[in-house]
Amino acid sequence: MMYMGDGSARFDHVYVANMVEAHLCAARALQPASPVSGEAYFITDHDTGNFYEFLTPFLAALEFKIPAQRLPVSVAYGLAVILETLSRIGLGPSTLLLTRYVVLSTCQDFYFNCLKAQRDFGYQPVVSKEQAFAETLAWLKMQQ
């Protein structure tokens, strides 16, 4: 495993229980002529962060080797194009771990904010970053 890009890209995520909370809040607010009707919302957890700063504590806790080298974006993207092409013509696996989408969403800023959801239906994350980490780590360890 190698990290891709220069490691500066920002991203955000959402823990499943927080997503459920957002759906419940939206459902309670969903009335005819409410600001929620017909709208689309981004739901996120806490502050925007860096993908590798998010990932590295999981790798360390699971005793995986932390990648020391980085693959330049251009190389990763080119490799993804080749892998996708091979897969498309039947010469590679049907499920790819490296795609152009993975490269771009990991190596470029890829984040949103949930201010609209907070404003329109009062969404706030109910699971802290620390609790989400602990629960996710416990689940990952059960998968090993």
The whole-number pLDDT of residue 94 equals 81
**Contacts of residue 17, Cβ cutoff 8 Å, sequence gap at least 6:** 126, 127, 132
Question: Can you read off the two tokens belonging to residue 39?
Answer: 């709208």
Q: Which residues of 74-88 are buried (b: 16+ CB within 10 A; e: fewer)?
A: eebbeebeebbeeee
Read off the pLDDT of each residue in 81-105 and give the average, rounded to a whole number. Answer: 92
- Full-model pTM: 0.81
pLDDT tens digits, residue range 31-90? 888 989 999 999 998 788 888 899 999 999 999 999 888 999 999 999 999 999 999 999
Enter the CATH code of domain 3-143: 3.40.50.720
Query: Taking the mean position of all CA atoms in its chain, how far away is CA 100?
Result: 15
d(C-alpha 66, C-alpha 56), whole Å: 7
pLDDT in tens, 7-24: 899 998 899 999 999 999
